[in-house]
Amino acid sequence: MLKIVCVILMAVCFIPMEGAHAASFKDVSKDNTLITEIDYLVEKGIINGYPNDLFKPNAYVTRAQVAVMLTRALGLQTTNVKDPKYQDVPTTHPYYKEIAAVQNAGIFDSATKFNPNATLSRGDMAIVLQRAFKLKGSESYFTDVSAKTRGYKEISAISSNNITRGYDDGSFKPNLPLTRAHFSAFLARTLTLSNPNLLKDTAYDYTYSYYSLTDKNHYTLKYQYSHNDDKNDVWTVTNLSSKKLFNDELLFSDGEFYGQANDAESSTHYDLYLGLPLRIGVILHEDEGGVITGVRNTVKATDGTVQAGGVNYNNVIVLEETSVYSDGVWTYYFVDGIGLVKELYNDVVIFELLDRTAN
């Protein structure tokens, strides 16, 4: 009877719920730092909620649930699967096909048992995600992870791809079991990994419409590449109406970080500074230390769409920035190889790319 109840409960969590959305779950607050990732998986139909509008974010995810989510996320074939011959996963098991599919794909090991109802540790999460998505990355450092740790290379791979940063004390906690919310976050981040070139193309001149929140005036600005100062691309900004110069724009990227700044005398840091590669979710939290505190940066999409200057752009990086010091929301839209195409403050368009011409 206990086994039957467990199977029913597992099945319920994968029953599609009409109009399911993370914000509609009673137990997922709109302030939850993982809501973007949970939203993404729910909207893609990769994970669903429970009856009574519950998601159960703090419940431990099981190995069977992970198999189902990975099968859906990767679009694995579930017909004519080869029997992995797990003693605890007979062909009558409700998720036999999905478990067989992930084993056939080399994501889970061949073994005597699969332990479908067991939890998945953070270390095992790194292993299955690295195998599923063929992630590559450089060595990373956690206080509780060494070359002797099971999954050391895989943990390094997910860390260097910004899928996880570990804990504030420098640890990774590889043996800690994962909750539904945390596995959802790691999977959604992996699915949305993007390493775009956010710099403006120096072979072009850029023309933007600009609305100043300071003087409430509209301007048409021309950005022309000037030089590289041994770190930043320096762009000269001209008001086309008055022919007066605005402050230069400084853009920096080394493949691991992107930064942009207004070259004013009082400027001592980048106004926007992002770690690469990007993935959806919070990438800078207001409680973190650094030059700018109180700011939260959230990547809302890496495959978004936007219209700017009459052009429809796809595969857009959509970034939101909020601050504890104001109620305003800045939204940036970047396109790979082009750079910023649009910027909003709340619902007001601040920058919009009008034209690019070869220089």
Give the burial string for 32-51 (b: 16+ CB within 10 Å, else e). Answer: bebbbbbbbbbeeebbebbe
> What does pTM read for this prediction?
0.90
Q: What is the mean pLDDT of residues 215-225?
A: 97
Q: What is the mean pLDDT of residues 139-146?
A: 93
Q: What is the mean pLDDT of residues 235-254?
A: 96
CA 188 – CA 73 distance, rounded (Å): 9
pLDDT in tens, 266-291: 667 899 999 999 999 999 999 988 77
Amino acid 206: pLDDT: 98
Least confidently predicted of 210-224, 258-272, 311-325, 345-359? 258-272
Amino acid 292: pLDDT: 77
Residue 88, pLDDT above cutoff 80? yes
Amino acid 7: pLDDT: 42
Amino acid 15: pLDDT: 36
Locate 24 and state its tokens. 């509609």
Residue 353, pLDDT above cutoff 60? yes
Count of alpha carbons within 13 Å of 219, Cβ hemisphere only?
Answer: 23
CA 78 – CA 127 distance, rounded (Å): 22
CA 132 – CA 124 distance, rounded (Å): 12
What is the chain's mean pLDDT, rounded? 92
pLDDT in tens, 9-59: 444 344 333 344 565 799 999 889 999 999 999 999 999 888 888 999 999
Q: What is the mean pLDDT of residues 201-216?
A: 97
What band does 265 get if pLDDT is binned at 50, 70 and 90?
A: low
Amino acid 266: pLDDT: 65
- Asked if residues 294 and 325 have their Cβ atoms less than 8 Å apart, the reply is yes
For residue 341, the one-letter residue type is V
Locate 180 and state its tokens. 């539904």
Residue 145 has φ and ψ, to the nearest 5°, of -130, 125
CA 156 – CA 161 distance, rounded (Å): 9
Cβ neighbours for 331, distance < 8 A, ≥ 6 positions apart: 300, 318, 319, 320, 321, 343, 344, 345
Q: What is the mean pLDDT of residues 250-265?
A: 93
Amino acid 23: pLDDT: 58
